[in-house]
Amino acid sequence: MVLNVVTISGSLRKASYNTALMRALPELAPSNLHLAEAPPYDGMPLYNADVQAAGFPGEVTTFADAIRKADGIIIVSPEYNWTIPGGLKNALDWVSRLENQPFREKPVAIQSATGGPLGGARMQYHLRMALTYLNAFVFGTPEVFVGLAQTKFDPHTLELRDEPTKRVIADQLAVFAKFAARFKG
């Protein structure tokens, strides 16, 4: 069964390790997992109910549409101040206000990369809670934490070079594919 999965990076900078990690996923995924990057969310204004009253910004509805059409989501995000980056949270805040809330009953896996050794455990925690509230089917284990990211990606091309990390990721994607298949159709 083919599963169309949308990937989201929680970092907005160009040379982000998290975006690099997100881009490493297609080659590590089982063949029935078709991965595509979510539309950008970096042009969304800060959530404000007064702005919403004037109509949802186009970037919000485009982002939400991509999630609604997907059979699963993978979010790859840094941790800022022990929790979710404000920009990523802002995107969730926007789409959570849509009538047909897009994360509802979507299988979602989480990965994270950080320069420090911990690899983003606390961000994953809070993100799982927000997604549980949105009635997503939040994937549990195996988890993927890429600590000391600067030692695991090629400094020039940002390709993922670390073989043990690749195996952990391939493991998660294989288990996630079975998890997501449960909820399709």
Q: Does 99 help bind a second copy (rule: CB under 8 A)?
A: no
What are the two backbone dihedrals, phi and then psi, of residue 37, each rounded to the nearest 5 degrees?
-75, 140
Q: Does 26 help bind a second copy (rule: CB under 8 A)?
A: no
Q: Does 39 help bind a second copy (rule: CB under 8 A)?
A: no
The count of residues interacting with a second copy (CB under 8 A) is 50
Q: Does 42 help bind a second copy (rule: CB under 8 A)?
A: yes
Q: Does 141 help bind a second copy (rule: CB under 8 A)?
A: yes
Distance CA 11, CA 19 (A): 7
Distance CA 120, CA 49 (A): 30
Distance CA 132, CA 105 (A): 10
Which of 32, 132, 150, 151 is close enough to bind a second copy by CB under 8 A?
A: 132
- Which strand (E) or helix (H) includes residue 63? helix 58-69
Give me the helices (H) in 29-57, please: 49-53
In the complex with a second copy, the residue whose CB is nearer, 27 or 178, is: 178
Chain contacts with a second copy (rule: CB under 8 A): 11-14, 16, 42, 44, 46-50, 80-93, 96, 117-119, 121-122, 125-126, 128-130, 132-138, 140-141, 145, 147, 182-183
